[in-house]
Chain A
Amino acid sequence: MTDPYKILGIAKTASADEVKKAYRKLAKQHHPDLNPGNAESASKFKDISGAYDLLSDADKRARFDRGEIDASGQERADASFYRSHAGGPQGAKYRAGPGFDPSDLFADMFARSGRGGGDFHEFRMRGSDQSYTLTVDFLEAAKGAQKRLSFPDGRTIDVNVPAGAETGTVLRLRTQGQPGSGGGPAGDALIEITVETHPLFRREGNNVVVDLPITLTEAVAGGKINVPTIDGPVSMTVPAGSNTGTRLRLRGRGIAPKGHSAGDQYITLKVMLPKEPDAALSDFIENWPGRNYDVRGT
């Protein structure tokens, strides 16, 4: 355990204001986002913010001074700092300036140092790829959809989300990334799809699975019911004697990715008693000769 007063470099008698000042000074020095590439800064910052956490809270500070609690910093996941994204494809839109043109960099560097750049020629280079993520709802992913994306720089593009897209599907849009340099082609935009869950539908491969409540009457006597599918409700017959867990199939009502035949929809039945107890039903059950039927194999 390290002494939080020592970490912040202050006396035990420091005022709340002095605690804050000391913390700010150290945080400006050691915040991991101000120290990209310095691995040590993350653990230093953890100690500093842990100490500040404790000492900036009058109640926690008093308890620490009485020896009731220990100082312990909260480790912040590295991914929560911007620096761990800044160099990656998602950080590309924030990195200042146009795409990397090595000849510009050489010209700039050698102009400053007053030395010649040698026989340096302009590079023709393809622009870099840029990654984006796009969230679509279950039905859009199942049936395919067109989404318009507006980029931070004002460009818009229409993305055709193909039928059957899944979370993790990556669409490559040619030449929609960073511009190239020296007459080189633009990079590509890579769009990663995230599919939201649906309250009713689940996906198993190209099949769609639905849990469907039915009445006791429909379970015992069978009947026609309306079943939601990704293309709207469809009428279906529940066979007499259906049970909770009975699985029915609607052939070809699942997801049809391009070039594949459509999957099926599976309906898992769930028998529901009336919401309110029903006297007539209770009477019937109590007098029903078959009421002691075995379901647990005992």
Chain B
Amino acid sequence: MNRSLHYVATEIGVTVEDLTGWIERRWVLPIRSGKTLAFDDADRARIRMILDFHRDLAIDDEAMPVVLDLLDRLHATRAQLRAVLQGVADLPEAAQTMVFKKMRGEAEQ
């Protein structure tokens, strides 16, 4: 479900100024349709996360981009790993076993 800037700010409990700042810093990337910004479920969950990080974990504006960047890289890598594993699932069982053995071995090193 798509929501507007003011709705989202009120729903999540963040000020419009803070949220606007986060969008300007590209921490949140809503799409724009004409003059309105539209926030999807992922955008809203991300705003909640940034608010948690900011308010509860005391991550300040200097550290936030580092944290977000590392998290985004982690999710990109997890998505890649998921793609690799989906490919592995199509391989014959013997090949799958080889891959998993290798993965376990690397993990234990």
A213 at the interface (CB under 8 A from B): no
Chain A residues numbered 85-112 whose CB sits less than 8 Å from any CB in chain B = 85-88, 90-91, 93-97, 100, 102, 105
Name the CB-closest residue of A to B4.
A135
A residues bordering B, Cβ < 8 Å? 23-24, 27-28, 31, 33-34, 36-37, 49, 52, 79-88, 90-91, 93-97, 100, 102, 105, 131-135, 147-152, 194
Is B33's CB under 8 angstroms from A147's CB? yes
Is A148's CB under 8 angstroms from B34's CB? yes
What residues on A are CB-neighbors of B30 within 8 Å?
152
Please give the number of chain B residues whose Cβ is less than 8 angstroms from any Cβ of chain A in the complex. Answer: 36
Task: Give the shortest distance, in Å, between A97 (CB) and chain B (any CB).
Answer: 6
Given contact pairs A84-B45, A96-B73, enumerate 9 new A-B contacts (beta carbons under 8 Å).
A23-B56, A82-B48, A85-B46, A87-B82, A100-B83, A132-B40, A133-B38, A134-B38, A152-B31
B residues bordering A, Cβ < 8 Å? 1-2, 26, 29-34, 38, 40-43, 45-46, 48-49, 52-53, 56-58, 69, 71-76, 78-80, 82-84
Name the CB-closest residue of B to A132.
B31
Identify which of A33, A94, A150 contacts B52 (C-beta below 8 A).
A33
Name the CB-closest residue of A to B67.
A34
Task: Give the shortest distance, in Å, between B52 (CB) and chain A (any CB).
Answer: 6
What residues on B are CB-neighbors of A131 within 8 Å?
40
Report Cα–Cα, A100/B69, bound state, in Å. Answer: 17
Identify which of A36, A81, A151 contacts B75 (C-beta below 8 A).
A36
Identify which of A97, A102, A132, A194 contacts B76 (C-beta below 8 A).
A97
Report Cα–Cα, A132/B31, bound state, in Å. Answer: 8
With A27-B57, A135-B2, A148-B33: A91-B52 Cβ-Cβ less than 8 Å? no
Report Cα–Cα, A97/B73, bound state, in Å. Answer: 8
What residues on A are CB-neighbors of B84 within 8 Å?
102
What residues on B are CB-neighbors of A133 within 8 Å?
1-2, 38, 40
With A82-B42, A93-B29: A36-B74 Cβ-Cβ less than 8 Å? yes
Report Cα–Cα, A27/B49, bound state, in Å. Answer: 12
Is A149's CB under 8 angstroms from B75's CB? no
Name the CB-closest residue of B to A45.
B52
What residues on A are CB-neighbors of B82 within 8 Å?
87
Is A95's CB under 8 angstroms from B75's CB? yes
What residues on A are CB-neighbors of B49 within 8 Å?
33, 81-82
With A24-B57, A100-B83, A135-B33: A36-B76 Cβ-Cβ less than 8 Å? no
With A27-B56, A100-B83: A90-B31 Cβ-Cβ less than 8 Å? no
Is B40's CB under 8 angstroms from A90's CB? yes
Report Cα–Cα, A94/B82, bound state, in Å. Answer: 17
Report Cα–Cα, A135/B5, bound state, in Å. Answer: 13
What residues on B are CB-neighbors of A84 within 8 Å?
45
What residues on A are CB-neighbors of B75 within 8 Å?
36, 83, 86-87, 91, 94-95
